[in-house]
Chain A
């Protein structure tokens, strides 16, 4: 149903909206999951666009719509590789690893919870009220996604930069 006669419930104020989206202080970890899922999703999407453009240059750039000869392809590959040699990109890739892993595992958690799995059945509410949807299982999955994300960042930085290798 599309409500047309509805009064604006709040003045559309971008800074207020962004504060609500990005600063979930005083709320539970489900709210943090909402914020982090959004932020990580947007950042990973930006990375994805950059990655598609970058890999496009690896095979010769947007001007090439045919299969280039072997030597030409090798030359453009080496050019792109040299331009991405900066360790800043490696650290960035580590952060992308963190965000992708978090978004993936938290995404599985959200897919389960969004369809009512891992949540408790409705019951007769009795004081003190227990929130049936804040189950330990789905909260555990959130913390699992955080820990896996940190682990994958360490693994990525180790592989790319060798910083954690003795």
Chain B
């Protein structure tokens, strides 16, 4: 058990006009400490200018995604002991514009999420606004999409996807998984419209099943599985 580790943190201030640098901080650690704890120790005791985004510290809010040792992970969800190194490299997530230090601009990611219409579409809009009955659903119908609705929009899959790195227009694993989640929802009636948009050039066909999204997902959503099942639906158009 180590008592101390080195944090190698990416520092970038766009207002200073200087290129990004790495700064090393020596942090005392205890057992069961996460990378987020270490980063907050740095912010409290060593360098208050370090910027990072975090909130819940328990892998629910999904705001502390960063590249830890080269792989997108939630800082609050990554034990220092599981990394098993003396020097941990912390960088902002790839595939996003960097705002400052470890903070990235996720507006493009959220815009793509919004563009797949992540809400229930009903033919009778008036009835949807003033519902007269419950939308009942069986357990089997629930299991078809439940896994994909566990998404916390942390954006790790988007940072891991090799297609997103190359192609900014690609919707990304998160948005396509949500697209599938709403297609499979038995209460939803917009499947035809959704499948049509999934079949565009920046949609489901750009996925090549590299599986990186599922590898890094902290909630077991498995976006790769959702996209492959979505592709089958897009093939048969139903």
Contacts and interface: CB of A to CB of B under 8 A. Distances in A.
Whether the complex brings A and B within 8 Å at their CB atoms is answered yes
Interface of A: 1-3, 5-12, 16-17, 20-21, 24-28, 30-31, 33-34, 37-38, 110, 113-116, 119-120, 122-127, 129-134
Contact of B95 (A9, A115, A120, A132): A9
A133 B211 contact: yes
Interface in B181-225: 197, 200, 202, 208-212, 214-215, 217, 219-222, 224-225
Contacts of B116: 1
Query: At the interface, is chain A mostly helix, strand, loop or mixed?
Result: loop
Contacts of B200: 1-2
Interface of B: 69-71, 94-97, 105, 107-109, 111-112, 115-116, 143-148, 150, 160, 162, 164-166, 168-169, 197, 200, 202, 208-212, 214-215, 217, 219-222, 224-226, 228-229, 231-232, 235
A9 B164 contact: yes
A27 B235 CA distance: 29
Given A34-B209, A34-B210, A124 B219 contact: no
B232 A116 contact: yes
Nearest to A22: B162
Given A7-B107, A7-B108, A125-B147, A133 B165 contact: no
7 contacts: A7-B105, A10-B168, A21-B166, A27-B71, A30-B215, A31-B211, A133-B228
Contacts of A33: 209-210
Contacts of B143: 122-124
Contacts of A3: 111-112, 115, 169, 202
Interface centre among A7, A12, A122, A126 (most CB of B within 10 A): A122
Nearest to B116: A1
Contact of A122 (B147, B197, B219): B147
Contacts of B71: 26-27
Given A25-B70, A34-B208, 8 more contacts: A2-B202, A10-B96, A17-B165, A28-B212, A30-B224, A124-B147, A131-B217, A133-B214
A31 B224 CA distance: 12
A129 B109 CA distance: 24
A115 B111 contact: no
Contacts of B150: 125
B215 A27 contact: yes
A116 B148 contact: no
Nearest to A18: B166
9 tightest A-B CB contacts, nearest first: A129-B220, A30-B211, A125-B220, A34-B210, A133-B225, A20-B165, A115-B232, A122-B147, A1-B197
